[in-house]
Amino acid sequence: MRQVEPLEDLSFDGRLLTRLQGRRDPLPPIHFYTPTFKNYASSEIKGCGRNAWPAVSITGGDCKLNCDHCKAKILEPMIPARTPEDLWRVVNEMIASGAGGMLLTGGSNHRNEVEYDPYYETIRRIKDEFPGFRIAMHTALVDDAIASRMSDAGIDAAMMDVIGSQDTITQVYHLRRTPEDFERALEALTKTPMKVVPHIVVGLHYGQLLGEWRALEMVARHRPAALVLVVVMPTYANELRPFVAPDAHEVGQFFLDARKALADIPLLLGCARPAGEVKRIIDAYAVMAGVNGMAHPSDGMVELAARLDRQVRVTASCCSIAVGDEVMALDGTEQGFEIDLARILEEERARRAVRSGPLGRIKVVSDSGSGCCGA
């Protein structure tokens, strides 16, 4: 870490570093999803268009829960499709613009259910006419019958937040449900052929880690396709119910615990996490803990992973398709383009000739594909 310039002035927990360093199992390859290489790039890298993986909301900007960390604002920039006819039109327009898939979501009712019933026939029609078009759905809470309908409609990936604290469910989500309801929904989804990718929002209880370890136990019991971790970003939180930034070292410990609990399940760090110095610390812990994928890594993460002898794969992607990349990355269809990382690291070695630690044996695997991106 001392050889990675962007990490030089950051403070890390020595005891946690010792635990990370003491792991006996080899670190797996890591896949970075990033719009640029920032200071690693020596030439311009073009990103994907905004239409590559749009987000569509069947309720527009409306949500009955109005959770404290979101206030429904996250829905506002999404493409509205308030009727099945609107959804069919929107999808056809997206495909004509080059979209390969979409995130389908919507605001919840007071029971944390998104009311998709009128849309299943249209979703099935979309999948029948455009079988290569991928649909990742934010399911919210479901039962066996609803999960089965989603699967029958052709949903490729099912995503839901898993919450392990009753206080968080009640106070942050304003919801009269229980952690057991969330686990039952996860169980119902994993019974289907859909790729199930639950999310744990670290620090969801106003910036405190409260039910994350219980949520991790719930995920481990049901063996999903992958787990996405994000760190709370309460951009829209009410000043009367403020959030604090989660403790980066506690977040790092959770990453290590998640990696141990899900040793054979892909672990992905989503693009949502606080900015600035805390993001660099969180990202460094994630790389050292052994996450399989990371969206929008901080400066220094490619080099840190390489110095830890981790194979590195990189796909350029913009924020609009980050979610799609996360949930679809496991089947080999992710878009990307070849990047000459060996040359980039050679330039880093030349620039830091006075620094110790040879880079000559770094293992790098570059990703190639036609996709919508190019250099």
- The tens digit of pLDDT for each residue in 125-184 reads 999 999 999 999 999 999 999 999 999 999 999 999 999 999 999 999 999 999 999 999
Q: Classify residue 26 by its DSSP letter.
A: P
Q: What is the pLDDT of residue 342?
A: 63
Return the H-helix or E-strand segment holding 294. Answer: strand 293-295
pLDDT at 25: 84
Rounded-to-integer distance, Cα 369 and Cα 375, Å: 12
Strands (E), 88-183: 101-105, 134-138, 157-159
Report percent pLDDT > 90 for the chain.
57
pLDDT value at position 344? Answer: 56
Q: What is the pTM of this model?
A: 0.86
Q: What pLDDT was estimated at residue 239?
A: 76
> 5-351: CATH homologous superfamily?
Aldolase class I (3.20.20.70)
What average pLDDT does range 68-88 have in this prediction? Answer: 91
Residue spans per domain, the chain:
5-351
Between strands 55-57 and 30-34, the pairing is unpaired
